[in-house]
């Protein structure tokens, strides 16, 4: 593989949350001030967030950003920010909306999902994401628009995601895992492959 990836197989949502909580404790202990991470939307992360919220962390020093979002109001059911803020509202953490023109901070961790077409965040194949993009955040239109969320998107770019100290993926299903492994070997040129081909920090994949 081009990228050294630590695979964690058959992990429950609670076990993934435990790993993430341990990572956050480590980062909180190694630096002063805020620890910022970016996280995905979609259905997979929210049971993990529910487990993570049970952990005793210094939540007021943690800042969480969605890696991408739909261009809808925060109270819209399709808003990643809105769902994330609701899921973590009792923790005391700061959830920050991602908007066009945002200037995200340095991230200790970028947690990403992946679609069956190899997209990450809202970097779909048709958007031709580049690792030398001069922006941190872009607004774009997936093509085709996913029928379950037919909205323009705002997303962090490849260089912004690659600037995180480490990357984390949660990949569900054999088909997605095979695509992810092929991308890690450089066998395709999908957005996830472009990211993995230039990753230089730790990469963990829960599958």
Which of 41-45, 136-140, 146-150 has maximum average pLDDT?
136-140
Structure tokens at 151: 């909205």
Is the pLDDT at 27 greater than 70? The verdict is yes
pLDDT: which is higher, 147 or 159: 159
100 or 145, greater pLDDT: 100
Average pLDDT across the chain, whole number = 95
Q: For the chain, give the percent of residues with pLDDT over 70.
A: 99
pLDDT at 4: 85
The three-state secondary structure class of 15 is helix
For the chain, the distance separating the N- and C-terminal CA atoms, rounded to the nearest angstrom, is 17
- Model confidence at 103, in pLDDT bands (50, 70, 90)? very high
pLDDT digits (tens, 9 = 90+) for 176-199: 999 999 999 999 999 999 999 999
Q: Which pLDDT tens digit goes with each residue over 41-65?
A: 888 999 999 999 999 999 999 999 9
The reported pLDDT for the residue numbered 2 is 55
Domain architecture of the chain: domains with CATH: 6-206 (3.40.50.1360)
The SS3 of residue 24 is helix
How far is residue 164 from each of residues 14, 29, 35, 137, measured CA to CA in Å? 24, 18, 12, 14
- How confident is the model over 3-31, as a mean pLDDT? 95
CA 153-17-202 angle, 5° bins: 70
For residue 1, the model assigns a pLDDT of 45
pLDDT at 11: 95
Q: What is the mean pLDDT of residues 136-155?
A: 92
- pLDDT at position 85 is 95
Q: pTM value?
A: 0.95
**Is the predicted pLDDT of residue 161 greater than 50, yes or no?**
yes
Looking at the chain, the whole-number percentage of residues with pLDDT higher than 90 is: 92
Mean pLDDT score, 145-166: 94
């Amino acid at each position: 593989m081009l990228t050294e990836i630590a695979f964690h197989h058959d992990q429950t949502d609670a076990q993934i949350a435990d790993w993430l909580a341990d990572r956050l404790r480590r980062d909180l202990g190694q630096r002063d001030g805020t620890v910022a991470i970016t996280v995905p939307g979609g259905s997979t992360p929210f049971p993990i967030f529910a487990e993570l919220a049970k952990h005793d962390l210094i939540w007021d020093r943690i800042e969480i950003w969605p890696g991408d979002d739909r261009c809808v109001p925060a109270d819209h059911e399709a808003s990643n920010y809105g769902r994330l803020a609701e899921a973590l509202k009792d923790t005391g953490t700061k959830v920050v909306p991602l908007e066009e023109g945002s200037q995200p901070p340095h991230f200790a961790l970028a947690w990403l999902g992946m679609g069956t077409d190899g997209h990450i965040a809202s970097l779909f194949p048709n958007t031709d994401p580049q690792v030398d993009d001069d922006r941190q955040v872009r607004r774009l239109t997936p093509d085709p628009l996913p029928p379950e969320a037919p909205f323009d998107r705002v997303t962090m770019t490849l260089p912004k995601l690659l600037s995180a100290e480490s990357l984390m993926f949660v990949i569900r299903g054999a088909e997605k895992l095979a695509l992810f492994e092929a991308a890690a070997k450089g066998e395709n040129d999908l957005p996830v492959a472009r990211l993995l081909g230039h990753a230089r920090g730790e990469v963990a994949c829960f599958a």
